[in-house]
Amino acid sequence: MRISKQSSGGRGEYEIAENAPNGLRPADLLNHEVQLRLGASLIRTGVQLLRQGGKLRLRRIGNQKAYPQVPTQIANVLLLPDPARDERTMTGGQPVLLSDRYIIQDINFGAVNRTTAPAFVAEVRSLDCKNQAFQAERIDVQRRMADVERLWRNRDKFPPDVASLLGQHQKVVESKGPILNAAGQLVSNLQAKMQEYAADLGVVYSPRTDVVPALIAALNEIIEEQPASLDQIEPEQLELRRREIQRWQQYASRRGAESVRFKREVRAAYDFRCIICGVRFPPTVVNANPGIDAAHILPWAAYDLDKCCNGLALCKTHHWAFDEHLLTIVYREGKYFVEFSEEAEANLSAPEFSVDALRAFVGEVPEERLPVDPADRPRPEILQRLNEETA
C-alpha cells in the first residue's frame, strides 16, 4: 500500500493505492485517520481518508491551517527540505532534495493495521522523491530516522543554537502530532545555521539542501578521544612528539561546539587577517565562508585551550607552514616576530622548494595584524613552549 500523488499538471491530489500486505484495501480504511510509524515514532497526522469525486483522497480534520498535508508532515519529521505541492515549482538536476523544488511522489508502506479510533497505523518504509529531471530518489525511512535520532542524542556536540533547534525538533516529533506548520520553520532554521557553521564544522553544505547528511558528516568529524599526553613521550623522541602534536592540532579543531566557538572568537579578534602575511579574507555576500583559519598554538587545556591567547589567525598557506613548523612565531622584548625555522633553513633550498615565498614574511609582526585587546594576543609562554616542543 502507498500514498501517491496523482499528477494534474498543477497541485494534484494525494490518494491511497494498492492493497496492504495483510490484504487491507484502501476502501477498508475509509473515514479512518492516518497514523504513521516512522522508525520508533508514531505520528497522528490529523488527516483522514475520505471519498470525494468517486476517489479516496486524504483530507485534514478540523483546523486545516494548523498543520500541512501528510507528505509535508513526514518531511518535517525526517528533517527533509520542504517539499513542493505544485509540480510547476519543481526544478531539474541534482540535488533532488531542494526546498520547494521537489515533490514526494510516493509514500511506501509496510505493515498497515486498523485501530479502534477509527484510525489505521501504517509503517512508512520509503519515500520516492522527484523533480523535473529525476523521477525516483528513494529515501529509506528507517535509516533516515536512525540518523535523526542520532542527531537528537548528540545535539550537545553542536553549537548551542543548532543543539537548541535539534532539541525542539525532538519535542515536536515526540508530541506524536499532528506535526504543525511551525516544524517546517525549524527545518529552515537548521538549514540556515548549517550554512553559517559548515566551514567551522569542517563540512560542505549548500543552501536549502538536505541538512541531515551535513549534520551527520559534522558529527562523524568530531573527535572525542584525546591523544596521549606529551609528558608521556621522552624528549629525545622528536618524531613521535611531532606526530602527537599534529594529532593534538587535529583534535583541537574537530571537537564540535567548543571548536566552533574558538574559531569564531579568534577570527574576530584578528579581524579575519593572517598574522603572518596580513591578507584579510572575511565572509562577504560573495563568499559565505572566510578564507582565514583559526589555529591553535598549544591545543591542551592546561594552556587555556579555547582562548584567543592560544590561537592565531592564519591564511591557508601559512596555516600549513605553521603546522609543519616551517615558519614559527616568537616573542622577544614585547614584540612578535615571524621566523623561518632552523631545520627548514638547513634542509630546504630553491628551486626544489619555494623557500623565498616563506622568507618574504620573516620579521617583526606589524601592530595592525595583532588583536586590539592585549589579552587576545598570543601568550608568550605558550609560544615558547610550542617552539621548545618542535625544536
What band does 118 get if pLDDT is binned at 50, 70 and 90? very high
* High-pLDDT (> 70) share of the chain, %: 88
Domain extent for 315: 230-389
Same domain, 254 and 295: yes
pLDDT 10s digits, 258-282: 778 888 899 999 999 999 999 999 9
pLDDT 10s digits, 124-170: 999 999 998 887 789 999 999 999 999 999 999 899 999 999 999 99
Considering 120, 139, 158, which residue would you say is the last residue of a domain? Answer: 139
Q: What is the pLDDT of residue 10?
A: 55
Same domain, 111 and 190: no
Q: What is the pLDDT of residue 213?
A: 95
pLDDT 10s digits, 85-110: 888 888 888 899 999 999 999 999 99
Same domain, 217 and 288: no
Same domain, 158 and 31: no
pLDDT 10s digits, 206-261: 889 999 999 998 888 775 656 666 666 566 566 666 666 666 666 666 666 777 88
pTM for the complete prediction?
0.76
- Whether the per-residue pLDDT at 391 is higher than 90: the answer is no
Same domain, 24 and 68: yes
What band does 337 get if pLDDT is binned at 50, 70 and 90? very high
CA 350 to CA 356: how far, in whole Å?
8
Mean pLDDT of the chain: 88
What band does 83 get if pLDDT is binned at 50, 70 and 90? very high
Between these two residues, 317 and 299, which has the higher pLDDT value?
A: 317
The burial class, CB within 10 Å (0-12 / 13-18 / 19+), for 333 is exposed
The residue with cell 620573516 is: 362
Can you give the chain as a three-state secondary structure string? Answer: CEEEEECCCCCCEEEEECCCCCCCCHHHHCCCEEEEEECCEEEEEEEEEEEECCEEEEEECCCCCCCCCHHHHHHHHCCCCCCCCCHHHCCCCCCCCECCCCEEEEEEEEEEEEECCCEEEEEEEEEEEECCCCCCEEEEHHHHHHHHHHHHHCHHHCCHHHHHHHHHHHHHHHCCCCCCCHHHHHHHHHHHHHHHHHHHHCCCCCCCECHHHHHHHHHHHCCCCCCCCHHHCCCCCHHHHHHHHHHHHHHHHCCCHHHHHHHHHHHHHCCCECCCCCCECCCCCCCCCCCEEEEECCCCHHHCCCCHHHEEEEEHHHHHHHHCCCEEEEEECCEEEEEECHHHHHHCCCCCCCHHHHHCCCEECCHHHCCCCHHHCCCHHHHHHHHHHCC
Considering 109, 139, 169, which residue would you say is the last residue of a domain? Answer: 139
Q: What is the pLDDT of residue 226?
A: 62
**Number of structural domains found in the chain:** 3
Same domain, 287 and 357: yes
CA 198 to CA 249: how far, in whole Å?
19
Same domain, 298 and 269: yes
Considering 187, 221, 255, which residue would you say is the last residue of a domain? Answer: 221
Same domain, 134 and 152: no
- What are 107's strand-pairing partners? 3, 127
Buried b (16+ CB within 10 A) or exposed e, 225-248: eebeebeebeeeeeeebeebbeeb
Same domain, 168 and 86: no
- Whether the per-residue pLDDT at 301 is higher than 60: the answer is no
Same domain, 17 and 125: yes
Residue 36: name the closest of 168, 207, 164, 177 by CA. Answer: 177
45, 34 contact by CB (below 8 A)? yes
- Whether the per-residue pLDDT at 389 is higher than 90: the answer is no
328, 344 contact by CB (below 8 A)? no
Characterise 349 by phi-psi region: left (phi > 0), alpha (psi -120 to 50), beta (else).
beta
CA 183 to CA 187: how far, in whole Å?
7
pLDDT 10s digits, 33-58: 999 999 999 999 999 998 887 788 88
Same domain, 257 and 380: yes
Same domain, 247 and 350: yes
For residue 251, give the C-alpha cell. Answer: 583534535
- Whether the per-residue pLDDT at 9 is higher than 60: the answer is no
